[in-house]
Chain A
Amino acid sequence: MSKSESGMTRRDFMRLAAYAAVGTAVGAEALAGEGMPPAKRSRVVLVRDENAVTAAGEINADVVRRMIDRGISELAGADDPVQCWRQLVGTPKLVGIKTNVWGNLPTPAAVEQAVEQRLRDAGAAKGRIPKTDRDARRVLADCDVLINARPLRSHHWSGIGGCIKNHIMFAPRPSAYHPDSCADLASVWSLPPVKGKTRLNILVALTPLFYGRGPHHWDPRYVWPYKGIFLSRDPVAVDALGAHLLAAKRRLELGEDKPITPAKHIRMAQVRHNLGVADLNRIDFVKVGWEKDALI
C-alpha cells in the first residue's frame, strides 16, 4: 500500500506543498502511489465569461452555450465544436445526461440545453435524450454514453460535491459510500450502468458554493459569481481543480479557520481506483476567457 493511500498526515501535505512551491516533481511522485502509471496526464479546460451571470444572478443561456462550445474545442483540439462533440461521443445507441437537482444549486437549464443541442447537432441523438439525477439507475441504465454535468459546491462530508460524486445516484444505496469521508466514492464508477460510459465531465462553476452551513449545507453568503465552466474527460482531474478553486476561495474569504479537508475521495480516485489524475502536477490545465479573479 502506498503512503498516499495508507496514512497521509498534515505534515505530509505541508511537504508536498513545499515541493510544489519550488517546482519539483517529488511531491507528485509521492502522491502518485502505485496505482497510476507515471506518464499519465489529463487535460482540463476552464472557460470563463464575465457575462455568463447577470448582476441579479441570472444565467445567460447564449453565453453559456458559447462557453461550452469554446471549452469543447479546447478540449478536443479542433475549431468546430460540432465536430468535437462528434469525436467525443461517437455514434451511441443512446446518450444520456446525468444532471444534479440539488434544490439550492442544480445543474443550470442553460447547460443542459446547450449539451442537448450539440448532441443533436453532432448526430449523437436522434430522439429523446434522457436526463436525470435521482432516477439515474432506471432512466440512464440503457445509455451507452453519458455526459456528466453538475455544479461545483462544497460538501460537508466529502469536501466537495463534484463530478466523481455526481454518479452516486447509480448506486443502490448511496449512503454505503459515506464511510471514511466518502473515500471510495470512485468505486461507483465501476458499477455496470456507469463503467466506461462517461465521455465528458462538465463541472459548472458559474455560481459555486464555497462553504455551507446547517443541515441543508446552504448559505447564500458563500455563493459567488465565478462565471466559469470546467470541462474534462477525466472526472478526477476536473474535481481536483474544483477542490483547488474552493480551497483558494475559502482561504481568501475565510482565512485558515475553515480549510477544506484534503478531499480524500479525489486522491483515492487516483491512487486506489485508478479512475483519473488527482495530482495537479499531472493536469494540463487550460484557461480561456475572462481572467479576473481566477484564483487558480
Chain B
Amino acid sequence: MVHIRHTETRSVTLIWALCACVCLAPMSGCKQEAMELHQLVPAEVNGWEAAGEGTVYDRDTLFDYIDGGAELYLAYGFRRMLAARFERNGHPAIVADVFDMGSSEDAFGVFSAERQDPEAGIGQGSEYAAGLLRFWKGRVFVSVWAEEETAATEEAVRALGARMAEAIESSGPPPQLLNLLPSEGLADTRVRYFHDHLSLNLYYFLADDNILGLGERTEAVLAPYETAEETMRLLLVRYPTAEEVGRGLDGFLAAYLPEAGDTGIAQVESGSWVAAQSVGDVVMVTFDAPSRRRAEELLSAVRTKLEEQTT
C-alpha cells in the first residue's frame, strides 16, 4: 500500500476516501489504492488547477494513455497510474503522471531508465530539464511535464513535484544490486536497473534472443565506467536459483563469446574485450573494456564487494 502524508487541504476528501474504502474493500482492493493515488495530487499549485479527477490506468489499459510508451512501465512491476492535468488561463498546461510501481526497486528502475539531467532535490532521486520533472520515492514514480516550458511552468512543475513527494510518506530502498558496483570510474547517474532482455537492448543492444535468460524474476544493472578515452560497461544479473545462474552464463558464452572457452574472456570485433563470470547468484559481464587487464580488474572488484557483503 502507498503510504500518504495527509494534509489539511485534503482532509475532507480523505475522510470520504477512508469511508469509501471501508465500504468498498470487500468489493475491490484496486479501487482503494486508486483513490490513494488521487490523494498524492493537490487540487491547485501556483495558480494551476487540476482539471477534473484525473484518470486511473492499470496494466490492461495503460496502452490507452501512452500506447507504446506503456511497455517501459510494464517491463517493471507497474500496477496502476493516475494521469492528472493542470490548467491555468494564459499558460501552458501541466501533466502529472503518478505511477505505482509495486516496489521501491522498480520505482528506482523506471526512474533510472531515462535519467540524465541535473538533480532537482525532490523525493529519493529526481531530475529536471526542459519542462520535465521526474522523481521516485518509495514505490511511486512521478513525471510532471509542462506542455511548453516557461519560467512560470518550471516553478509550478517543481512545486507540484515537491507537494506530491511530501505526500508520499514512505521511502523505500533502491535495489541492493547497486551495492555491488565498484565506485571508481562509475557514472552513477547513468546506471540502469531493469529485469528483461528487451530493456537491456534499449540501453545496450546485446542480442535479439534472450541469451542471458533475463525475465521478471531476474534483476539486472547496466553501469558505465568512464576513462578519459572510453566508456566500458558492467552488466550484473542476479538470478533466483543457482541453476539459472549456470544457464545464464553458459547461454551468454555460447551465443556471444564462443571463442572464450573456459576463460570467459575474449577480444571482439571492435578491438575491445568482453569478459563474463559468475559469483554466487550473480552473473557479471564487462563490455567495451580497453584491455584484458581492465576487464578482469572490474570483475575482480565486483567479486570482492560481494564477498565483503556475504561475510
Contacts and interface: CB of A to CB of B under 8 A. Distances in A.
Pairing of A with B: yes
Interface of A: 6-11, 13-15, 18, 155-158, 174-175, 178, 180-182, 213-221, 256-257, 259, 261-262, 264
List the 8 shortest-distance A-B pairs measured between CB atoms, nearest first: A14-B269, A175-B63, A9-B207, A157-B68, A7-B209, A157-B71, A213-B114, A261-B205
B206 A10 contact: yes
Nearest to B99: A215
B66 A155 contact: no
A82 B236 CA distance: 59
B130 A220 contact: yes
B255 A7 contact: yes
Given A6-B209, A213-B114, A257-B224, A156 B72 contact: yes
A156 B205 contact: no
A178 B67 CA distance: 9
A62 B272 CA distance: 51
Nearest to A9: B207
B131 A220 contact: yes
Given A178-B71, A182-B68, A215-B69, A13 B205 contact: yes
Contacts of B269: 11, 14-15, 18
5 contacts: A6-B208, A8-B207, A8-B208, A9-B208, A214-B145
Given A15-B269, A156-B71, A156-B72, A215 B66 contact: yes
Contacts of B130: 219-221
A217 B67 CA distance: 11
Contacts of B268: 11, 14
Interface in B86-125: 95, 97, 114, 116
Nearest to B149: A220
A14 B271 CA distance: 11
A248 to B, nearest CB: 16
Contact of B190 (A178, A214, A257): A257
Interface centre among B129, B130, B198, B205 (most CB of A within 10 A): B205
A11 B256 contact: yes
B302 interface: no
A178 B114 contact: no
A215 B143 contact: yes
Nearest to A102: B67
Interface string B204-248: 111111010000000000001000000100000000000000000
B209 A259 contact: no
Contact of B129 (A8, A11, A180, A221): A221
B69 A217 contact: yes
B63 A214 contact: no
B63 A219 contact: no
Nearest to B257: A11
Contacts of B70: 175, 178
Contacts of A8: 207-208
Contacts of A178: 63, 68, 70-71
Given A158-B68, A257-B224, 5 more contacts: A215-B143, A216-B145, A217-B66, A219-B129, A256-B231
Nearest to B287: A10
Contact of B114 (A7, A214, A256): A214
Interface centre among B65, B73, B269 (most CB of A within 10 A): B269
A224 B65 CA distance: 26
B208 A7 contact: yes
B134 interface: yes
Nearest to A177: B68
Contacts of B114: 213-214
B68 A155 contact: yes
A10 B207 contact: yes
Contacts of B134: 213-214
A43 to B, nearest CB: 28
A208 B256 CA distance: 35
B251 to A, nearest CB: 11
Contacts of B129: 219, 221
A81 to B, nearest CB: 35
Given A7-B209, A215-B143, A257-B190, A181 B198 contact: yes
A186 to B, nearest CB: 15
Contacts of B67: 174-175
Contacts of B131: 220
Nearest to A219: B130
A257 B63 CA distance: 28
Nearest to A13: B205
A15 B256 CA distance: 13
B270 interface: yes
B62 to A, nearest CB: 9
Contacts of A15: 269
A156 B269 CA distance: 28
Contacts of B206: 9-10
